[in-house]
Structure formats: C-alpha cells, structure tokens
Amino acid sequence: MKLIAKLLAGIIAGILIGLMNIDLVTQFFVTIKDIFGQFINFIIPFIILFFIVAGVSKLGKSSGRLVGATVGTAYLSTILAGVFAFFIAIAVIPFIQADQANVSEGSGLEGFFQLEIEPLMGVITALIMAFLFGIGIAKTNSPTLMNLFDEGKGIIDLVIAKVIIPFLPVYIAGIFVEMAAEGAVFDTLQVFGVVLLVAIITHWLWITIQFTVAGTVNGRNPFPLIKTMLPAYFTGLGTMSSAATIPVTLRQTKKNNVKEEVADFAVPLSATIHLSGSVITIVSCAVAVMAVMDSYTIPTFGEMLPVIAMLGIIMIAAPGVPGGAIMAALGVLTTMLGFNEAAIGLMIALYMAQDSFGTATNVTGDGAISLIVNRYAKKADTSAPESAE
C-alpha cells in the first residue's frame, strides 16, 4: 500500500510540475522518463527468459497428471478472464470516452539528450528460449542449468525489487509531467478513474463465475465457498503478493474440503501461473489506453484474442513482487499492440493503482482452481482400479 501512495504522490507531483511548465524542469523529467523507459525495455526479455525457465523447469518434479490438470485449468481461467474483461471494456469504455478528447503521445517534448539501450534479444526470442530451456531442464533434471537460471532469476528479481519498483514513482511523474505540459492530463484521469472501477467490478464478477463453476462440478453452493476464501482475498489486498498470501490461501482452501495433498500442490503452483485478476486489469487498461491515445484505436476481438492468449503464457514469468505482472506483460504490449513509452507509462500507472485488487482476485481464484483439481483427482482415483484390471 505504501507503493500505491508513492505512485499517487508521483502522479500529483508530475501534474503540478507539468502545469507550471518550466522548461528546464520539464526537460529533466522527460529525460529521466526516456532513460528509465529504455531500461525497462532492456530488462523485459530477461524477465521472460529467467522467470519462465525457473518456473517451467520445476514442473517435471511433480505428478504429471496433477500438473496437467492444474496448469490447464489455470490457463483456461486466465484466458477466459481476459476475454470476459475485453467484452466488458469495449462495452463501457467507448461510452465513457465519447465526450473526451484523445490524448497525444507527448512527441513534442524532448529531454536533454537521447540514450538508446538496445535489448540483447527480442521478446519472442526470449519466450522461445525460455520454453526450450525450461522443458529441457525439466526433462534432463540438469542441476547446473537449473542453478544458473535460478540464480539469474534471483538477480532480475533483485533488480525489479530494488531498482525498477522503487523508481516507478519518478518514472510515472515524468509521464504525467509530459501529459500535463501538453494539456492532456485531466481528460485522461477522468476516463481512467472509471476504468479502474470497471476493472475492480470485473474482478468480483469473475470470482463469482469461477466459484459457480467450481461449485457446480463439486455439487456445492458457490457462495459459502467464496465466503470461506474471503480471508485470502483481504490478505492479498494487503500484501499485493500471491506468494506472500499462500499460507492463508492454503488454509482457507483446505477449509473448503479440498484434500490436503491436492491443496498443498495446487495452491503454490496456482500462485505462480494463475493470474486471472492481473489479466483482467491488463486487458481493461490496455483497451482504455488505446481508446484515449490518438494513434491507437480500440482493438477488435480478433486482434485482442492472440494478445490474451499470450498474456496467459507470459504470466508464468510474472515476478512475485508488486507490479510483477505488468512488468512481465510489457513485452506483449509493445510487440503485439505496438505500445510506445507513453502508453507503457500509462499502463504501469493504471495497473499499479489497483494491483492489490488484482492480487486479491488471483489468490481467491486459486481456491476455485484447487476445488476443480480436487474433483478431477477424485475421479482419477475412482477410475484407477478399473484401468489397472
């Protein structure tokens, strides 16, 4: 929650500085924004490579049947959440944006100098390498490569936690200095305030849908199941971390009568790969950004579906820190939707403003995933003696 307060302070400071429009001060913040934006683009392929390898390489250590059921259910939930969020966003955003002027990208303002930091590889290259090495390590169980990527993940995690996240308020301030100096900030804030509310309501609707499905397959009322998971929801709201909420999620999932061995496996794995709340926010905010920026148009479902499918995969690479999901998603947004620095800055600001709600939705949904996997495990156990005869 402290980070959200700092981000809000950065937004307010950026608006005030931009409205004063003192050339040297404005140029200074634009310079900082440009350099930090370049650094983020540089680090994105490393996030994808090291975090996906570290996650996928360890899947081979667990029961293949339960891994498949959990991963498949989590991925389907994430994809359907993104589709659900897209249709709500395109139904609401054109209506609230109808009387608003489009926002320019800030191309008229320049910093003191330009610094170009080229990534060592493209996002797609990093993704292919990640699955190649991740699956290879899972199959060969190579301790050398596993340690290499684990230690690389630790370094990138440290960079995110100690450099990128603490510096985000200054970066966001630079974005809003530029927008305020060009007179576009208030229209943007008016639209985005409604978008955040829409995203949070979509979270709650999706939780209801998840537990309705989980309750149906288990023959149980979904609302008591949701009520049992509320401690996990509010813990996620406070910690902004799925990993930090695992003990509470695990306890409440077992209270929903999920078998201990299933919960002990499904909850920690889902905390890594099931980020339906995060995808809801990313999709909602992406549609909003494309609606208000003058060089973009609201995407069609056909254009957005591959993006949602890729987000479901890329969430495996989401670092377990506040804002980790949007850091992992930046590569998809830049390569598949063509987001520039201004659009990326707005996405980060929007995402971080509701990160706690997205995390709360993620961890609550992990309980629904566990219920579905538990039902699958029961069916598999029932049919096992017959197949052995």
* Domain extent at residue 300: 2-379
117-123: long-range contacts, CB 8 A cutoff, minimum separation 24 = 117/38, 117/39, 117/41, 117/42, 118/42, 119/41, 119/42, 119/44, 119/45, 120/42, 120/45, 120/46, 121/45, 121/49, 122/45, 122/335, 123/44, 123/45, 123/48, 123/331, 123/332, 123/334, 123/335
Q: Are 316 and 55 in contact (CB under 8 A)?
A: yes
> d(Cα 258, Cα 219) in Å, to the nearest integer?
13
178 in any annotated domain: yes
Residue type, 39: F
**Whole-model pTM over 0.85:** no
Identify the residue whose tokens are 């981000």. 7
* Inter-axis angle of helices 341-353 and 276-292, nearest 10: 130
pLDDT in tens, the chain (389 residues): 566 677 778 878 888 887 887 777 777 877 887 788 788 778 878 877 887 787 677 655 555 577 778 888 889 999 999 999 999 998 887 776 544 445 544 445 565 667 777 888 877 788 788 878 888 888 888 888 888 988 988 888 888 778 887 887 888 788 778 777 766 566 666 677 788 888 999 999 999 999 999 999 999 999 999 999 999 998 888 767 777 788 888 899 999 998 887 888 788 878 878 889 999 999 998 998 888 777 788 888 999 999 999 888 888 766 666 677 888 888 888 888 888 877 887 888 888 777 788 889 999 999 999 999 888 877 765 555 544 43
Nearest Cα neighbor of 256 from 213, 203, 211 is 211
d(CA 210, CA 81): 9
Give the whole-angstrom CA distance, residue 270 versus residue 300: 30
Please check whether residue 337 lies inside any domain of the structure.
yes
Number of domains observed in the structure of the chain: 1
Residue 389 lies in a domain: no
d(CA 97, CA 188): 9
Name 103's bridge partners: 293
Q: Which one, of 51, 5, 13, lies nearest residue 319 by Cα?
A: 51
In a domain, 93, yes or no: yes
Report if residue 388 sits inside a domain. Answer: no
Q: Is 129 within the bounds of a domain?
A: yes
CATH number of the domain within which 148 lies: 1.10.3860
Residue 219 vs residues 101, 147, 386: alpha-carbon distances, Å: 50, 44, 24
Specify whether the CB–CB gap between 373 and 219 falls below 8 A: no
Q: Is residue 385 part of a domain?
A: no
